Chain A
Amino acid sequence: MNLHYGAFHALHNVNLGIDENEITAFIGPSGCGKSTLLKSLNRMNDLVQTCRITGKITLDGEDIYGNIDVNMLRKRMGMVFQKPNPFPMSIYDNVAYGPRTHGIKKKSELDRIVEESLKNAAIWDEVKDRLKKSALAVSGGQQQRLCIARALAVKPEVLLLDEPTSALDPISTVKIEDLLLELRERYTIVIVTHNMGQAARISDKTAFFLHGEIVESGLTMDIFSNPSDRKTEDYITGRFG
């Protein structure tokens, strides 16, 4: 697929398969198009007026830019953003916002989903006594796990994470990495990261982006130990980027 922002050709002939129940990492220097591709996957780019996409992106064989319900697509593709963005409401309401959006009203059902999502995001024990408190009162790392819980609450199939740990301290980062490794069992995960170590630690497959093109993609192990392209090698060994 190709993607333009106005006259700017942001993604060139990108062709990539993402496999189920694996973590795929997008790496590359700033402005190389990795976040752009991520946002195309759940059509968040629709919000950018000048954005134009040609080609095809399919989810389970279905063209997501075809005749589909965008809101349902976004429900299937949970997204976690670079900066933790809990809504200015209680922890409970944050997690319940998604399920309520999709029509769940019963208190007992919501209670169950909130508890389950918070447990899955490994933050239940830290917040279970203050579910009614503002989500803005917890730490940045907790906020990010809360955002993961919020994304999990709508029962997505895919989790898209846009540099989820770049605004966090090392300890919170480790917690989120551990969490992603656990979640891999049940979800397909795509993560954009600037952190080479992070990609190497947690991903199964890696795609290296440069100037809007995928230079190389494949098993993370291969890319990091034996890159076939010179540019990939230069980037992962820190010669630029």
Chain B
Amino acid sequence: MASRKNVFSIILKVFVYLAMGVTVLSLAGILSYILVNGVKTFKWSLIFGKFSSQNPSMSFAIVTTCVTIFLTLLMAAPLSVFCAVYLTEYAKRGSKIVRYVRLATETLAGIPSIVFGLFGAIFFGTVLGFGYSILTGCFTVAIMLLPVIIRQTEEAIKAVPDLYREGSYGLGASKLRTVFKIVVPSAAPGIVSAIILSMGRIIGETAALIFTLGSVAQLPGSLLDSSRTLAVHMYIATRDGGAAGREVAFLTGTVLVFIIFLMNVAASYIGGKVGKDFEN
């Protein structure tokens, strides 16, 4: 009996290490493959140069990506956070509204992004008349992000111990003050990480954006212009560019990885700072 238990625990241990090894190796493999291929084709002109058919530079796509991230978060983040605050702090627990909103957010979270793209193209693009534009793209992706940020913000807020709320009420603080001075700041690290994660979603989005933001290779002059984000640039380059296009795609991938890395560093810095500000 004892030895069978022993064998089992050894097998389990081997499996745990194996799982860890496979995960790390595949991540490292993908990353180094992209980086090696990206560095091989590295040319400053491909990153910062002006776009032409001879030099399919990604400079405009970098700008578009940054604008898209910023604008989408500006739309989605406040809305989602306030919605999550309502759901967790104001709505009665288990009330009909909460159940419907939860059902809606969960369904939205499961819908493929291309469906959002179709909706966005028709509603924002055609009905509201924004056409293929940054604005249409941002509205569409913002809607996609709502359930993601709402859900994670809810979890972060629920994780704030009731003891804090009681302590605040016990001192005669109003509900509003308790929620915004104690509960939300306590949940801030979780909320920040939810927003960072959704930035990753924006950067990686292609299907919804091809339908809405479009894929014109140009530096957008206004929010009503069409352009490409880096991920869309990568897709178009692979699809249309042949061997040279694949090289461009690898370099774009490398830049994407680099941007995401920078973002994570910034996020952990901001996250730490938010927490600290609250403590001080």
Contacts and interface: CB of A to CB of B under 8 A. Distances in A.
A74 B164 CA distance: 15
Contact of A88 (B174, B177, B278): B278
B166 A101 contact: no
A87 B168 CA distance: 9
A205 interface: no
A44 B170 contact: yes
A89 B279 CA distance: 4
Contact of B182 (A71, A73, A87, A134): A87
A85 to B, nearest CB: 4
Nearest to A94: B167
A89 to B, nearest CB: 5
A44 B171 CA distance: 11
B13 interface: no
B172 interface: yes
Contacts of B186: 87-88
A74 B169 contact: yes
A67 interface: no
Given A87-B168, A97-B168, A71 B163 contact: no
The dominant DSSP class at the B interface is helix
A46 B139 CA distance: 41
A88 B279 contact: yes
Contacts of A88: 164, 185-186, 278-279
Interface residues of B, number: 23
A171 interface: no
Contact of A83 (B163, B165, B279): B163
Contact of B173 (A42, A47, A71): A71
Interface string A56-100: 000000000000000111110011010101111110010001100
Contacts of A78: 170-171
B222 interface: no
A186 interface: no
B123 to A, nearest CB: 39
A44 B164 contact: no
A134 B279 contact: yes
Contact of B171 (A47, A49, A89, A151): A151
B92 interface: yes
A35 B161 CA distance: 19
A73 B170 CA distance: 9
Contacts of B165: 47
B181 interface: yes
Interface in A176-221: none
Contacts of B93: 49
A150 interface: yes
Interface string B141-177: 0000000000000000000010111111111111001
Interface of A: 42, 44, 47, 49, 71-75, 78-79, 81, 83, 85-90, 93, 97-98, 101-102, 132, 134, 147, 150-151, 154
Given A71-B172, A98-B172, A151-B171, 4 more contacts: A44-B169, A81-B170, A88-B278, A89-B278
